Each structure stands twice: as C-alpha cells, then as structure tokens.
Amino acid sequence: MVHEVVIFDSTLRDGAQTRGVSFSVDDKIKIVKALDVLGIQYIEAGNPGSNIKDIEFFKRAKKLELKHAKLTAFGSTRRKDITVEEDKNVQSLLSANTSAVAIFGKSWDFHVTDIIRTTLEENLNMIRDTIRFFKEKQKEVIFDAEHFFDGYKANPLYAMETLRVAAEAGADCLVLCDTNGGSFPDEVYEVTKKVVETFSTDVGIHCHNDCGMAVANTMMAVKAGAVHVQGTYIGLGERCGNANLSTLIPNLQIKKNIRCIPEEQLSQLTATARYIAEVTNISLDAASPYVGNNAFAHKGGMHVDGVNKASRSFEHIPPHLVGNSRKILMSEVSGKNTLLSKIQKIEPKLTKESPQTQEILDKLKLLEHKGYQFEGAESSFELLIRKHLGKYQPFFELNYYKVIEEGPTVNGEYSSSALIKVRVNDKEEMTATEGKGPVHALDLALRKALEVFYPILKTVYLTDYKVRVLDAKSTTAAKVRVLIESTDGKESWTTVGVSTNIIEASAIALVDSIEYKLIKELEKNEKGGAYHGNDNDTKNTSGACRVG
C-alpha cells in the first residue's frame, strides 16, 4: 500500500497551455515561490527549448532559494535520425541547469508511425539515447510516456517496451500519461497495476480531464501503486485541464492518509489556490472542491440547520483543514436559523426570538422582492445587519458624482470620465478620472478620492462585475442588479446594488465594497492589528455614507 506520494506540479508548463493564460516571467517566479512554500516537491517550470520567456525564467530561477521544491525542465526525446548532441532542444535542457528533467517520448505506435513518422525501433532508440545522455550528465530523469493508455490499448507489447527501454536507460520514474484524457478509472487502475508489478522503477501518473475523470483516474493509479502524481494547481491545462492538485492533495492526504505535503501546510491549500488564480488573472471556480468559495457554502434551511447542529451532517471535512471557511448563504429560503448565524457574528446576544432577528428577516425578504440578491453578496448583507443593529460605522460620505460617457476615442483607451466628491469628517476631496467605461471611471475616481484618507484602498481592485436585468418587460426603464467582486489580493468579497439606473446600482455596490473593506481593517486594528488610515483620521466618522 502507498503511504506517500511525490507531487509534481506542471502549472507553469501544462497549465501555461490553458486558453487565455499567459504567464510573465515575474508571474512564474511568484507561483514557484508559492508552490515551494506549500511543500510541492517538483515544479515543472517550462520548456527552455520552446520559447525565449522560459529561457529567461530559468536564468532568473537560478537565484531562487527553494526549501522544498526541485525545479524541473521539460523537453522531448531527441528528434528522429539525429544524435542527442545535434538536437538543439535536448541541448537547451542542459542550459536550464536544473537537477531534474522531464523527458516525454511516444508510447503509442500510431503516434510513432503516423505523427512523428519514424519506425518503432527508432522511437525506442530516441528514448534510450536521450535518457542515457541526461543520466550521464548526472540528471534525475522523469520519463513521461506520452499517450501511454491509448498506446497500451492499441499495442500493449510496444507500450510496455517503451517503458522497459526507459527503465534500462536509467529513468528514475516512469510516468503513465493519459494525454487525451479519454481513459476511465477502471482502465487506469488495471494498466497501472500491471506496470507497477512489471517494473521496479517508480511509477507515476499524469492525467488530463477531457472526460471529467482526471482526479478519479489519478486516485485509482495511486491505489494501483503509483507513487508520483502529476497535475496542475487549480486544474489549469490545455482543453479541459489537467488533474487538479488542489483537489488531489487533500483527497490523498486527508481522505486516504497518503502524505503529499507537510501536514502543517494543508491549511494553506485554499490561500495558495486563490493566490495562483490571482497571479494567473483568472477567477477561481467557486465550485472547486475544498478551495472554492462554494465548497462549504450552505443555503437551504434544512442544510443550514443540520450543519449548525453538527457540521459533519453536511460537510465531508472541517473547512479549516484546508484553510477554507463555512459560508451560510442568505436568501428567502434560508430560514431564521441561517439568519441568526449571521446576526450572532455581529451581536452574539441576539436569539431566534429576538425582535431584531425577525425585523432583519423581514427586511431581507423585502429587499429580495425588490431585486436584491444576498446569497452572492454576503458583504452587503453584513452591512445591512450592522445598520439595523446600530453597529454600522460610516467612513465617508459620497456627496456627489457625475459620469460622462463619450463615443469611441481615437486610441480606443478611454471612453468615459467621472467627477466625484467625498467627505471624511470635516474634510472634502474632489477628483476626476478617465476610464474604459462609466463604471470603470466611477470606481477609479471613488478610490482615488478615498485613498487620500485611507491608503489601504490602494490594494483594492475589482475582479468581477455582473449586471442582470430584472424586469425585461420594462425595456430601457428596467431595474438592474449589479454584483461586484473586489479583492485586496488576499481576501475577496462581493457586494450588490439595485436600481433602474445602472450607474447608481454600480455606485451602491462600490460604496458597500469600500465600506466593508474599511470595517474589516478597523476590526483588525481593534484586535491588535494595524489600521491603515491616516493619523488624522478618526475611527468614528460622523457622516452617513450615501449614494447620490
């Protein structure tokens, strides 16, 4: 039975092939550092023979002082009918100066004869020569048997022969690749078991998610004896992505007691997932197991009641194990128990029978009838509770704003401008900015004005903006709901605004977003953290934060 596996992360190589993803060298350095802190053992950081960016990365990476991870350069076996010394791609792997290299070679006879168009024997020579070359250079060699499962189905003798040649040439690990992502868990288990029984060399697994089974296939390969697991963090990768390491690591370590990373780092899984999504400039799927915003979110009244009485009734693990947190979603179907859990975070003395609890529930239902939606805007709902209970502390007044929308500009950069005036205590600040649209301009202007008083807002920016028309029959006079997601690079929060005017709805949500951030900063200060306002700020401003 496997008690420990090696984690091999390919976010910066396979993950870089994700549609819409393009890592800068700085991005790659940041992600390497994050994965190293998490405790990942191998980081496949790129192909130095394929592009200038990866060459630059490996030059800079030489200066990194990593505690856990071993950087790995990726490349193919030598090309047909030339020597390894003549192959520029093989030689470029040496320039990366990594102690480990991942070499992929063909294990499907169809690919050998019809894609790279050589003989089956020459392909074996290509594998043998390349691995021997790197072993002679004192490199650790991980052999990725590309298309292994398809190759095994088509010609099992030849697929196994590619592994035998790699092992005899000195490969340190034989990785079975489900490159097309078309295999099923039972197939992966049986084939992996056969390979493990045949070879004394360590066996690894590399799965793609084209059938939605990359994680399941990887789990079954480990059950069959694989001790090396490849994947990408948050499941990035070409087409449907690769096996998701942010799912696999807790699956293996928490559920199966198979060590993957240092135990104390498990609680960093969620923060790492969100950080990598942030650096990659994508939104982390809210439904991602373990690390997504919805992974431990509860909405239905019966579910909420159950999880409040005994968390394991509707949660398969305690969320803190992976650094996530429980979320009780607010809506008209949530019930009073759900509402109470939110209220008691702000005022613990209130009970289900307290008049304020019913008043807030009535207010919730009224606002949702008007078009508000709080299950996706928990931060706005917290502000609503604070206001009703007298626990609200406004930080500023939004006295005035004006947005001007213009036609397309010559350079295509800016089409809108916003003028805004805010008041903090007895001080006013007025500013104007240009933006790529009216909401963008309004957001920039509001934060620019308030950064004078609250420098911490320089770290805050929008990550998502959604508009929904609520009553389409009213055509251009329709009411709209705006949801805005904001982040400071560490935490994310969502706020909501509703109006027949899309700019006003956006302004409501923007104001809530900033108020929420400042309230959380103040709470940190009261708990002994650092407040990031200016010295001449008072923590209890007297104005009311209002829109328009």
- For residue 509, the SS3 value is helix
Residue that the structure tokens 């939606």 belong to: 373
494, β-bridge pairs: 485
Using the CB atoms, write b or e for 149-172: b if 16+ within 10 Å.
bbbbeebeebbbbbbebbbebbbb
CB neighbour class for 93 (10 Å; exposed up to 12, middle 13-18, buried from 19): buried
In the predicted model, what is the mean pLDDT of residues 382-386?
89
Cβ neighbours around 88 below 10 Å, total: 9
Position 167, amino acid: A
CB within 8 A of 194, min separation 6: which ones? none
Q: What is the pLDDT of residues 106-142, one digit of tens each?
A: 999 999 999 999 999 999 999 999 999 999 999 999 9
Q: Give me the domains of the chain, ranges plus CATH numbers.
A: 6-280 (3.20.20.70), 297-386 (no CATH), 397-526 (3.30.160.270)
Query: Residue 174's pLDDT is what?
Result: 98
Greater confidence (469 vs 194) lies with 194
For helices 185-198 and 156-169, give the axis angle rounded to 10 degrees: 50
pTM: 0.71
Query: Residue 414's pLDDT is what?
Result: 67
Q: What is the pLDDT of residues 481-523, one digit of tens each?
A: 898 989 888 788 889 999 989 899 999 999 999 999 999 888 8
- pLDDT above 70 coverage of the chain, percent: 89
Query: Residue 342's pLDDT is what?
Result: 78
- For residue 96, the SS3 value is coil
Alpha carbon distance 322, 263 (integer Å) = 10
Query: Residue 528's pLDDT is what?
Result: 60
Checking if the pLDDT of 544 tops 50, the result is: no
Alpha carbon distance 18, 132 (integer Å) = 32
Alpha carbon distance 280, 275 (integer Å) = 8
Q: What is the pLDDT of residues 149-160, one digit of tens each?
A: 999 999 999 999
Checking if the pLDDT of 49 tops 80, the result is: no
- Cα angle 294-295-300, degrees, rounded to a multiple of 5: 65
In the predicted model, what is the mean pLDDT of residues 364-382?
80
Residue that the structure tokens 């093989």 belong to: 90
For every residue of 164-229, which 3-state class applies, written as one string? HHHHHHCCCEEEEEECCCCCCHHHHHHHHHHHHHHCCCEEEEEEECCCCCHHHHHHHHHHCCCCEE
Cα separation of the two ends of the chain: 66
* Residue among 362, 337, 366 nearest 350 (CA): 337
DSSP-derived secondary structure letter, 410? S
What confidence category does residue 311 fall into, taking pLDDT thresholds of 50, 70 and 90? confident
What confidence category does residue 541 fall into, taking pLDDT thresholds of 50, 70 and 90? very low
